[in-house]
Structure 1
Amino acid sequence: MLNAFYQKASIRVNATLALQEMDSLAVRALDHLTVSSVCRRCSANAKCLVSKGVYSCKCNTGFTGNGFSCMSSVCRRCNANAKCVMSKGVYSCKCNTGFTGNGFSCMSSVCRRCSANAKCLVSKGVYSCKCNTGFTGNGFSCMSSVCRRCNTNAKCVLSKGVYSCKCNTGFTGNGFSCMSSVCRRCNANAKCVESKGVYSCECNTGFTGNGLSCSACFRSLDSRSF
Structure 2
Amino acid sequence: MRTPKHLPKWKKVQESLIFNLLRGMPTSFLGNRLRSSIYPHIFYSIGKRVCIQYGVEFIEPSCIKFGNDVRICRFANIDASGHPNNLIYLADEVIFSYGVDIQALINTSIYIGDRTFIGPYVTIAGPGDISIGKNCLIAAHSGIFANNHIYSDPAQPIGLQGVTRLGITIEDDCWLGSGVKVLDGVTIGNGSVIGAGSIVTKNIPPFSIAVGVPARVIKSRNNKEIINSTKIC
Instruction: State the TM bucket, normalised to the shorter chain.
Output: under 0.3
Superposition TM-score, scaled by structure 2 size: 0.19
Higher RCO structure (Cα 8 Å, ≥6 apart): 2
From the two aligned structures, give the one with the greater strand fraction. 1
From the two aligned structures, give the one with the greater helix fraction. 1
Superposition TM-score, scaled by structure 1 size: 0.19
